[in-house]
């Protein structure tokens, strides 16, 4: 269960702005140039903090990175999702084609 | 005032020299030419050495599978006597699930031999998983820099899965929003940590792929009595084409046709925050394939070891919908549930095999792992959520970022030849534009450009003359 506060030693995700809009590279497309470049890094919290507070983490390589607390014990929520109706027929259709081709004695 | 990005980029040469442990200056011959083969050989490892290093790392020796059901499907829609035998090298069987393990195994071996404490790579793809996995085995620390999110903090699900797998192997993952400054941040991290730059484009990494070409040549010879007629290679940054082709040639398969294939993402901008989550493919597409073929030295090393134009005999493009259709078909017909990257080449191979005689052979030289986020259903569901239309119909109506059209029948699968001469001219224009103003190419430069574009001196001279007239 997600919590809004971390304790020292908790595995957390911190966010910070790496480059403000006026520090970004030249020749970016307009939509990208209008946004700051943000980064997220995970590590073990050095102190207690609430979501949005500045906090320092120690990453798995031992680096210390300071940013705003983004999430405590961050998880992974990517999935497969539902079957795609436009692909539902593919297996049955192609197996039938192969069967018909082989029955034709080729 | 010098910005933070400009300040670090100004120190690029110094940082990369320390982080690669190799001085590229020794290979430079002129403002245009460099000694490519000397650079590739400078690490001193023979192909046998590399095979041994990879075997110790759990990499290589993947199954070569003949796809008899797919071959019969192709024959059922081909003219009589046509429909080449189709094979696939199941690279998903490598430690971290893709051919990228071959690249990573060499980079990590070199990093350990040279005494670096850790490695850093900038990659949103399978290479991150490969580096993290090999680094874990070698006891090295590892940082992977990824372009993961758009400015809304919405992650591309395939890249989110890559974050997960890198973290599963103990790597620190730096997740970023869209932008080429990923590279300058990687330089900052190399500078801060003193770690090795496990670049995708170093000679170590690209040499590691040569074993894939070697295995294909040897195994096909043993299985069919001949080297493959054609090998189809999913093409992005160029390492896959370069390494595989070099390995095939070193194994004596000099007549095998080298065919690169990419998903056509025409119309989408690779650095656009809004296009980022509308691509539905994170690699193997023309957004990398074309710029890296026409200017390989845009990479993070002084000279890119991946020089695909040297080796390509043809470059084919396929549509997003066709690749998703073939990915579904591979699972249902061959029991191979794999990711879309290798299936890009598979899609092109189906179109090619139809035009080839029955006794010809086509090898698709990689598969990649799939799973939550990477799976083609995940990508299509995500595309719909981003407002991209998904429908069945005629694949030629596919429009990247707007509509993904899934074929209704296998007869609709088609590969389009990209004009290689256009790519060659574009490469030559880029090479000339990187030389000082007014520089006159020497005969050595012309020879280099001919080799680097797999053409001849006359063609290069004609192209230069045309560029000057234009």
User: Does the interface ipTM go beyond 0.90?
Assistant: yes
Which tens digits make up the pLDDT trace of B381-423? 999 999 999 999 999 999 999 999 999 999 999 999 999 999 9
B14 contact partners, CB below 8 Å, separation of at least 6: none
Which tens digits make up the pLDDT trace of B57-100? 899 999 999 999 999 999 999 999 999 999 999 999 999 999 99
Asked whether residue A86 is domain-assigned, the answer is no
Q: Find the closest chain A residue to B141 by CA distance.
A: A61
Q: How much of chain B, in percent, has pLDDT values that exceed 70?
A: 100
B45 contact partners, CB below 8 Å, separation of at least 6: B53, B106, B207
Phi, psi of B245 (to 5 degrees): -65, -40
Which tens digits make up the pLDDT trace of B179-204? 999 999 999 999 999 999 999 999 99
Q: Find the closest chain A residue to B393 by CA distance.
A: A86
Candidates A59, A76, A97; nearest CB to B160: A76
Q: What is the pLDDT of residue A2?
A: 63
Candidates A37, A80, A87; nearest CB to B177: A37
Residue A1 reports pLDDT greater than 60: no
Q: What is the pLDDT of residue B334?
A: 98
Asked whether residue A106 is domain-assigned, the answer is no
Which residues of chain B have a CB within 8 Å of the CB of A81? 377-378, 380-382
Gap from A41 CA to chain B (nearest CA, Å): 5
Gap from A75 CA to chain B (nearest CA, Å): 9
Q: What is the pLDDT of residue A105?
A: 63
Asked whether residue A63 is domain-assigned, the answer is yes
* CA–CA distance, B346 with B326 (Å, rounded to integer): 7
A interface residues, B as partner, C-beta within 8 Å: 18-19, 23-25, 28-29, 31-32, 35-43, 59-63, 76, 78-84, 86-87, 90-91, 94-95, 97-98, 100-102, 106
Asked whether residue A98 is domain-assigned, the answer is no
What integer best gives the mean pLDDT of chain B? Answer: 97
What integer best gives the mean pLDDT of chain A? Answer: 95
Number of residue pairs across A and B with CB atoms under 8 Å? 163
Asked whether residue A40 is domain-assigned, the answer is yes
Read off the pLDDT of each residue in B8-22 and give the average, rounded to a whole number.
93
Q: Residue A40's beta-bridge partner residues?
A: A15, B175
Asked whether residue A43 is domain-assigned, the answer is yes
List the one residue out of B123, B120, B127, B122 whose CA is nearest residue B104.
Answer: B127
Residues present in chain B in total? 470
Residues B332, A94: C-beta atoms closer than 8 Å: yes
Candidates B148, B269, B381; nearest CB to A82: B381
Which tens digits make up the pLDDT trace of B89-123? 999 999 999 999 999 999 999 999 999 999 999 99
Domains (range + CATH), chain B: 4-18+98-200 (3.40.50.1100), 52-96+204-417 (3.40.50.1100), 431-469 (no CATH)
Asked whether residue A83 is domain-assigned, the answer is no
Asked whether residue A93 is domain-assigned, the answer is no
- Domain of residue A52, CATH code: 2.30.30.760
- B2 Cβ under 8 Å from any chain A Cβ: no
Q: What is the pLDDT of residue B470?
A: 81
Which tens digits make up the pLDDT trace of B337-389? 999 988 999 999 999 999 999 999 999 999 999 999 999 999 999 999 999 99
Structural domain that includes position A20: 5-78
Q: Copy the structure tokens of residue A92.
A: 């049955």
C-alpha dist (Å) from residue B94 to B37, B105, B130, B366: 28, 11, 9, 11
> How many domains does chain A divide into?
1
């Amino acid at each position: 269960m997600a919590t809004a506060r971390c304790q020292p030693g908790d595995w957390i995700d911190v966010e910070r702005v790496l480059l403000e809009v006026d520090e970004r590279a030249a020749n970016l497309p307009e939509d990208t140039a209008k946004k700051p470049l943000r980064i997220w890094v995970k590590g073990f919290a050095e102190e207690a903090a609430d979501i949005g507070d500045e906090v320092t983490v120690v990453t798995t390589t031992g680096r210390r990175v300071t940013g705003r607390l983004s999430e405590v014990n961050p998880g992974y929520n990517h999935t497969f999702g539902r079957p795609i109706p436009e692909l539902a027929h593919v297996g049955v259709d192609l197996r039938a084609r192969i069967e018909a081709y082989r029955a034709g004695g080729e | 005032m010098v910005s933070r990005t400009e300040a670090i980029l100004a120190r690029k040469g110094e940082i990369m020299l320390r982080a690669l442990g190799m001085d590229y200056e020794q290979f430079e011959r002129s403002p245009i030419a460099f000694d490519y083969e000397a650079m590739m050989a400078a690490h001193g490892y023979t192909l046998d050495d590399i095979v041994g290093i990879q075997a110790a790392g759990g990499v290589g020796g993947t199954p070569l599978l003949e796809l008899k059901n797919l071959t019969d499907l192709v024959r059922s829609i081909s003219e009589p006597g046509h429909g080449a035998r189709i094979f696939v090298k199941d690279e998903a069987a490598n430690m971290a699930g893709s051919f990228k393990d071959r690249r990573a195994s060499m980079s990590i071996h070199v990093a350990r031999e040279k005494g670096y404490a850790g490695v850093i790579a900038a990659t949103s793809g399978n290479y991150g998983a490969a580096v993290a996995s090999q680094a874990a085995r070698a006891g090295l620390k590892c940082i992977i820099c990824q372009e993961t999110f758009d400015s809304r903090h919405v992650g591309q699900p395939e890249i989110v899965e890559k974050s997960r797998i890198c973290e599963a192997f103990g790597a620190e993952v730096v997740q970023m929003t869209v932008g080429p400054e990923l590279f300058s941040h990687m330089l900052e991290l190399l500078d801060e940590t003193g770690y090795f730059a496990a670049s995708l484009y170093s000679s170590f990494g690209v040499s590691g792929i040569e074993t894939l070409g070697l295995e294909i040549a040897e195994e096909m010879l043993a299985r069919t009595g001949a080297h493959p007629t054609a090998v189809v290679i999913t093409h992005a940054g160029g390492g896959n084409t370069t390494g595989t082709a070099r390995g095939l040639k070193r194994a004596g398969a000099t007549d095998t046709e080298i065919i690169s294939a990419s998903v056509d993402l025409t119309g989408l901008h690779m650095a656009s925050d809004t296009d980022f989550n509308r691509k539905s493919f994170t690699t193997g597409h023309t957004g990398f394939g074309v710029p890296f073929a026409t200017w390989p030295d845009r990479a993070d090393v002084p000279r890119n070891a991946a020089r695909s134009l040297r080796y390509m005999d043809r470059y084919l493009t396929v549509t997003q919908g066709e690749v998703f259709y073939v990915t579904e078909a591979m699972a249902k017909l061959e029991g191979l549930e794999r990711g879309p990257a290798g299936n890009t080449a598979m899609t092109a191979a189906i179109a090619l095999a139809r035009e080839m005689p029955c006794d010809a052979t086509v090898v698709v030289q990689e598969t990649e792992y799939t799973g939550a986020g990477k799976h083609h259903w995940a990508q299509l569901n995500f595309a719909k959520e981003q407002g991209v239309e998904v429908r069945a119909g005629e694949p030629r109506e596919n429009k990247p970022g707007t509509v993904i059209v899934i074929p209704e029948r296998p007869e609709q699968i088609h590969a389009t030849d990209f004009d290689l001469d256009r790519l060659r001219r574009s490469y030559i224009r880029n090479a000339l534009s990187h030389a000082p103003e007014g520089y006159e190419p020497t005969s050595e430069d012309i020879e280099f450009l001919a080799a680097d574009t797999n053409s001849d001196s006359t063609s290069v001279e004609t192209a230069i003359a045309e560029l000057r007239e234009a």
